[in-house]
Structure 1
Amino acid sequence: MDLFYTTHKNLIDSLHGVIDRQLNYEIDWSHPLIGIKGSRGVGKTMFLLDYARRMETKYGDSCLYVNLNSFYFTKRRIYSFADEFFKRGGKILLLDQIHKYPNWSNELRMIYDNIPGLKIVFSGSPVLRIIEGNDELKDIAHMYHLHPLSFREYLNVRTGNEFECLPLNDILNRHQEIVPSVLNKVRPLAYFTDYLKHGCYPFFHDDSALYTETLLKHVNLALEIDVTYTNQIELQYLPRLRKLMQIIADQVPFCPNVSKMSGEIDTSRATVMNYLRYLKNAKLLHLIYNGEEGPSKKPAQVYLHNTNLMYAISPEKTSNSSLRKTFFLNQTAVRCKVKSGRGVDFLLDNEKKFMVGGKYTKPVEGGYAAADMIEIGSDNIIPLWLFGFLY
């Protein structure tokens, strides 16, 4: 165990360029069992280490970060490790990459039941809900999702400001009052294009020149592990998933023709529907439905999860229209239920109608317009960039 204390200290001492994430302020840190889910590259490890650093003054060696990717845990149970840590005075155990450990949910349940004085914070794949199967943790774990950086978070990092997130109703009803306070400090549109290309994942902070290559590496890992391995898809079918991602990236947003896609990747319609659902669970896609979604219901529209994925997978096929709609969907879906609506681009929370487009975009009657390339809106015409302040 002493080796893990040394590794913990070295990691904390080497922290730099930590981004303050909105999720820090939404978690109930007093709860004894907290789970952090998130897609690859979104910053889960850095998030845990930042929490460990903040706890250092109060807890010292009583807080320990452990990466379960270590070969040590091929021979040591999490429960046994946690029990020893607690007996040595441990208070908070941070378990990174929990999905790398078999039968993890049973062991966390044992810790919760038998070591009540120990707090566990764990992180893992966005498909954790699928992996855990019999749902041992459903009633005891507080689960949270670490999303890609919002435009607000990116803007704060780039400019040194501390803009706070805004409720949707404030954006809709008070945008003309809110926007001048932002413009007094920064010109958001000066950073908006950069965000669309390489602002969703925190590793832009490290080396922007390698951003796309790093993102593609994470996408491929998600396909190989979060999609194929966890859904028990044989690795020989990975090329089909990659081809499906390329087909989608070349056409988004689009209404999927499942029969055509099944022919293009040489598989059945049912398999294509499953693949779409798996890719959604891995946070690589957004699936938008006309009504209630279901495992056998075809989505009305398919989008890549964010604009950075569009530039990474199919940069020559990006268009202003698809970038704007993908940005709006990505930012609003964190706080709202987003559906496809008749005669509008999106329907938020079953009632708010939105058109998304350029600076001359107009709302439908009783609806709103999210307009790009404007700094200040009027009435029901709202600057598109402001929706990046939702989280």
Structure 2
Amino acid sequence: MNLEKLISHLEETHAKLKLSLPHRLRPYYKNLNLENIRGALIYGQRGVGKTTFLLSISREKPFLYFSADHPFLLTFPLYEVVQKIFSHGYEGVIIDEVHYAKDWSLHLKALYDDYPHHYIWASGSSSLLLKMGVADLSRRFVQTRLPLLSFRDYIYLTSEIFVPPVEFFNFQKDHLELVRKVNILKFFREYISSGTRPIFVEGEYCKRIQGIIEKSIFYDIPSLMPQLQSNYLRLMYAVFGYLIGSPVPTINITKLCNSWHIGKEKLYHLLSLLEALELFKIVRKKGDKSVLSKGAKMFINDPSVYHCYRGEPGSAREAFVVYSLSEKYEVFASSKEGEYDYMVNNIKLEVGGRKKEHKGADFVISDDLEIPVKNRIPLWLLGMLW
């Protein structure tokens, strides 16, 4: 296939994809304003809706969308493909999965400089790969992160009920009225078990999640570190499995090093990779600035993973609290475990079920609670933060 035929094929594919866009889109998309931004990089975990976002904003623009992982594109340099697209009169390109293209960051930089009146927007599932390429692009390309679905995103996508985001400890009437409109705890159970990514509309959610996890570990990480031994990849997958089932959200560094014949510094480096890829969330105590640290607690970043793998319910609950609060605030693990679990903006939080005691906390984040009662906050409300 020559370039002329390739462009024709891409145009046909783009037209079909635009027709297949869902009727309802994530409310969070309104936070991603790319107007007048000539160079943009959208990154986030697999399955969070980056492609849908890019296609939705391309509907009214003279842009051509294509995915760099398409087999027809692998034989052409990225620069030549985009150059040909611009010669057809398009004012911009949207390149999905850009990190699949060879030397993609060099090509984007050259295109940005050589075509000062054109738009170049790109995305990638491997956030760390994009971040590494941005070293050459930081002056030119604006980085925008797309997070997992919030609970308010999920409610809108499944019921078309829109509520604004909430500020922590400043819950509005709109949010509490949700309890009268829907079975809020039923909705929340569906969301936290199989709705943190919009791929839930395609069915077989847990099978898709398992595929995403395996591809992230066994494809993304080797792409970053080709010299990494396969034994280390299996180790990371083993740590992943251990955390899902453990009632204590941490790992024994010394035991792992001895069992897998790996040095501590190497293990810490692997953990930092998993955190950078947003597969893990390491929660540190305030003042812990060490890069080589397992922190005080360690969670799978996406709380729905615990449910898909039938993991520990208590860890899943805390993982949701950390994941939700971290989207807006800095979360620290307690320096006094017997008094509270986490600290956010100097507010002490305890996490647990409906009857969890306060201990020394200012507030308790309670599961199975519909509305705030005194200093008890329903777990589901944290999903309204973004």
TM-score (norm 2): 0.90
Is the counterpart of residue 326 in structure 1 residue 319 in structure 2? yes
Q: Which residue of 2 aligns with 1:47?
A: 53
Is the Cα–Cα contact under 8 Å of residues 95 and 121 in structure 1 kept in the other structure?
A: yes
Q: CA separation of 1:34/1:24 partners in 2, compared to 1, >3 Å: closer, same or farther? A: farther
C-alpha distance in structure 2 between counterparts of 1:162 and 1:338, whole Å: 27
C-alpha distance in structure 2 between counterparts of 1:265 and 1:388, whole Å: 38
C-alpha distance in structure 1 between counterparts of 2:206 and 2:220, whole Å: 20
Partner of 1:173: helix, strand, or coil?
coil
Partner of 2:364: helix, strand, or coil?
strand
Q: Which residue of 2 aligns with 1:226?
A: 220
Instruction: Write out per-residue CA displacement over residues 272-307 of structure 1, whole angstroms, 9 at most, x where no aligned residue.
Output: 211211111222111111134332233111101122
Is the Cα–Cα contact under 8 Å of residues 195 and 304 in structure 2 kept in the other structure?
A: yes
Is the counterpart of residue 190 in structure 1 residue 186 in structure 2? yes
Partner of 2:170: helix, strand, or coil?
helix
Q: Which residue of 1 aligns with 2:370?
A: 375
C-alpha distance in structure 2 between counterparts of 1:275 and 1:223, whole Å: 11
CA RMSD in angstroms comes to 2.1
Q: Which deviates the most, 372-381 or 150-159? A: 372-381
Instruction: Write out per-residue CA displacement over residues 124-174 of structure 1, whole angstroms, 9 at most, x where no aligned residue.
Output: 1121355327x0111222111111111111111222211221233xxx034
Q: Which amino acid in 2 is paired with 1:173?
A: N
Is the Cα–Cα contact under 8 Å of residues 328 and 387 in structure 1 kept in the other structure?
A: yes
TM-score (norm 1): 0.89
C-alpha distance in structure 1 between counterparts of 2:158 and 2:223, whole Å: 37
Q: Which amino acid in 2 is paired with 1:216?
A: Q
Is the Cα–Cα contact under 8 Å of residues 253 and 302 in structure 1 kept in the other structure?
A: no
- Equivalent residue for 1:173, pick from 153, 170, 175: 170
C-alpha distance in structure 1 between counterparts of 2:322 and 2:234, whole Å: 28
Is the counterpart of residue 266 in structure 1 residue 261 in structure 2? yes
Q: Which residue of 2 aligns with 1:112?
A: 112
Q: CA separation of 1:366/1:240 partners in 2, compared to 1, >3 Å: closer, same or farther? A: closer
- Equivalent residue for 1:276, pick from 257, 271, 278: 271
Q: Cα offset for 1:387?
A: 0.7
Q: Which residue of 2 aligns with 1:286?
A: 281
C-alpha distance in structure 2 between counterparts of 1:366 and 1:265, whole Å: 39
Q: Which amino acid in 1 is paired with 2:129?
A: L
Is the Cα–Cα contact under 8 Å of residues 150 and 389 in structure 1 kept in the other structure?
A: yes
Partner of 2:368: helix, strand, or coil?
coil
Partner of 1:132: helix, strand, or coil?
helix
- Equivalent residue for 1:242, pick from 216, 237, 242: 237
Q: Which amino acid in 2 is paired with 1:270?
A: E
Q: Which residue of 1 aligns with 2:93?
A: 93
Is the counterpart of residue 336 in structure 1 residue 342 in structure 2? no
C-alpha distance in structure 1 between counterparts of 2:77 and 2:331, whole Å: 42
C-alpha distance in structure 2 between counterparts of 1:160 and 1:132, whole Å: 38
Q: Which residue of 2 aligns with 1:127?
A: 128
C-alpha distance in structure 2 between counterparts of 1:252 and 1:287, whole Å: 16
Q: Which amino acid in 2 is paired with 1:142?
A: V
Q: CA separation of 1:265/1:202 partners in 2, compared to 1, >3 Å: closer, same or farther? A: farther
Q: Which deviates the most, 25-34 or 1-10? A: 25-34
Percent identical? 22
Partner of 1:184: helix, strand, or coil?
helix
Q: Cα offset for 1:379?
A: 3.8
Is the counterpart of residue 216 in structure 1 residue 218 in structure 2? no
Q: Which residue of 2 aligns with 1:141?
A: 141
Q: Which residue of 1 aligns with 2:3?
A: none
Instruction: Write out per-residue CA displacement over residues 306-347 of structure 1, whole angstroms, 9 at most, x where no aligned residue.
Output: 22111223x1x422x222211111111111111212232112
Q: Which runs of 5+ in 2 are unaligned?
A: 1-6
C-alpha distance in structure 1 between counterparts of 2:363 and 2:35, whole Å: 37
Is the Cα–Cα contact under 8 Å of residues 18 and 55 in structure 2 kept in the other structure?
A: yes
Is the Cα–Cα contact under 8 Å of residues 155 and 188 in structure 1 kept in the other structure?
A: no
Q: Which runs of 5+ in 1 are unaligned?
A: none
Paired residues in the alignment total: 374
Q: Which residue of 2 aligns with 1:158?
A: 158
Is the Cα–Cα contact under 8 Å of residues 97 and 123 in structure 2 kept in the other structure?
A: yes
